[in-house]
Amino acid sequence: MKNIARKILAGLSAFAFLSTAPMALNAYNMDEPKLVVQSKKRDLHINFSKDGSKFVYTRLDDNSRNSVSEIVSNEKGTEKVIVSQGFFDAHPSFSPDGKKIAFFRGLGMGYGVICTVDSDGKNLEDLANARISKVSWSPDGKELTYISGYVEEKINTLTEEDVKNLNKMKNNPWRLKPGDKVKIPVEYGAVMLLNLETKDVKYLTTNEGNCECPRFMDDGKIIYVFNKSMMTSAGKEIWMMDKDGSNKLLLVQPENYEKKTQDGNSVIVHVKEGSAYQVSVDKGMMAYMLTTTERIAKATPDGKKFKVEELKDESNSAIYVRNLKTGETKMVTDEGLLWFPEIKDNKVYFSRYEDDTEHDIYSIDLK
């Protein structure tokens, strides 16, 4: 039965859903979301200047050959294209004084460089290699945090299945055997700190797991998304640490479990997988997205085989806001497919999927 349960679970692919560490969850008394940007293209990654007078975002325009990317600013309702590189410029972020914009420039396969540019589009500068990532300025404007790769060689013991697969691919010239130990390079997404004056770069996380979406907080601490597993998107958590990488603290831990129960001669497997994504912070308030997938399957003997019956398969996503002082957490919205929440001055901004070619930016007032 145990092996059958494993087979059922193997067929239940991981994506994501909702749930958090022990805390009270309520919902805001919300009005309808207000439309902020609608260009009939894919508008994402909104970010505000410190004084809230202007914002910047990514605009992706699909055509028949590639995705053309622009960094667009908006001040007093007037749009201006700041950067138009033609491949993938994304995740823009205003400096504290509003004079510069940092962003990720993609070069392919999820890799690229961190760049800065003046808010009028002049003086573009490449600063550091990176993986696709949010970019965030320190409160004093002297440092940036982002994600880059950290490669570590891990020693693995080969199984019979490993050796069989190597032989099939004719990739075993060393005649490796089960039980042999080999070094395998593993790359993690690491949180980085870049000093803009000295250009020194420091790893704040290394082989702990895969990290995403680092953001500076008002007090200089860094908040980020963390996943222990390199093999699945489920189980992503939100953590906080000092800017030297010390004093790491878990803030949000989505619910993840696997339960197997017996029902007569049948096995019922219940899987719940939750992940936190795309965190932002402003004035002690944190906005983030949670996704949840819940699946239940039942396997019943049918001769020499098992008949598998799907009882439940549901996925959902929602945006939440948490008060970092009190821990109070409330849902903002779960209407539609939502991306990249950004909190600013008691409002939450986000992109909503309309179709494959259009993502519009909305806002919701918190009440």
The CATH number of the domain holding residue 274 is 2.120.10.30
Q: How far apart are CA 211 and CA 149, in angstroms?
A: 10
| 277-309 residues labelled b (16+ CB within 10 A) or e (exposed) | bbbbbbeebbbbbbbbbbbbbbbeeeeeebebe
Q: Which of 27-41, 166-180, 199-213 has the highest mean pLDDT?
A: 199-213
For all residues of the chain together, what is the average pLDDT? 86
Q: Please tell me the pTM assigned to this model.
A: 0.81
Q: Are 112 and 106 in contact (CB under 8 A)?
A: yes
Q: Calculate the dihedral angle through the C-alpha atoms of 190, 191, 193, 194, rounding to the nearest 10 degrees.
A: 60
pLDDT in tens, 88-100: 899 999 999 999 9
Q: Which residues contact 261 (CB under 8 A, 6 or more apart)?
A: 267, 268, 270
pLDDT in tens, 234-262: 889 999 999 999 999 999 999 888 999 99
At residue 147, the pLDDT reads 96
pLDDT in tens, 253-289: 998 889 999 988 899 999 999 999 899 999 999 999 9
pLDDT at 43 over 50: yes
Q: Which domain holds residue 324?
A: 2-29+37-365
Q: How far apart are CA 50 and CA 66, in angstroms?
A: 34
pLDDT more than 70, % of the chain = 88
Q: How far apart are CA 37 and CA 145, in angstroms?
A: 27
- Burial degree of 158 (CB within 10 A; 0-12, 13-18, 19+): middle
At residue 229, the pLDDT reads 76
Range in 4-13, 42-51, 108-117, 237-246 with the lowest mean pLDDT = 4-13
CA diameter of the chain:
72
Range in 142-146, 303-307, 315-319 with the lowest mean pLDDT = 303-307
Number of domains making up the chain: 1
Structure tokens, 229: 């597993």
Q: Which residues contact 334 (CB under 8 A, 6 or more apart)?
A: 316, 317, 318, 319
Q: How far apart are CA 100 and CA 330, in angstroms?
A: 33
Number of H helices, E strands in the chain: 2, 26
pLDDT in tens, 206-243: 877 899 999 999 999 999 999 987 667 788 999 999 99
Q: What is the DSSP letter of 177?
A: -
